[in-house]
Amino acid sequence: MRCPYCDFFETKVIDSRPTEEGQTIRRRRECTKCNKRFTTYEKIEEIPLVLVKKDGTRQSYNRNKLLNGIIRACEKRPVSIKKIEGIADDIEKELYNSMEKEVTTRYVGERIMSKLKDIDEVAYVRFASVYRQFKDINTFMDELKKLLDEK
């Protein structure tokens, strides 16, 4: 870290502590040349995540949209909010761990359906019906048959 007073490159950390939010670390430093002290803040660099929609448009990732879609699918089902948030956390972790800056909404939708299928089949079918835009009863029945065949 370069000293803001004398521009020397060597400094030592005197004190480190997290800020109140816990998202940043506050460090007190001292220049080894001029002995002046200064404060720096260290925080995690967030990679902006962009979703590429079916029509090719791009949109910033929004956790609330993801959660709302899962909540709607699980409405009046025995799925706790804790499980719903767990699904969202898992998917979000996968997205950020992939280190991709752009992800398709198709990929996200498939991940949600995969998680819902293991937790509640009715919620899975509800989500799939909206996500896959079932045009008629036959496509809906085809999805149900796939689900039954997997059992």
Domain boundaries, the chain: 11-43, 50-150
Mean pLDDT of 65-81: 92
CA distance to 24, 34, 50, 52, 147, per residue, from 45 (Å)? 11, 30, 16, 22, 41
Local structure of 56: helix, strand or coil: coil
* pLDDT over threshold 80, residue 108: yes
Where residue 140 falls among pLDDT bands split at 50, 70, 90?
low
Number of alpha helices (DSSP H) and beta strands (DSSP E) in the chain:
5, 6
Summary mean pLDDT of the chain: 87
pTM of the model: 0.62
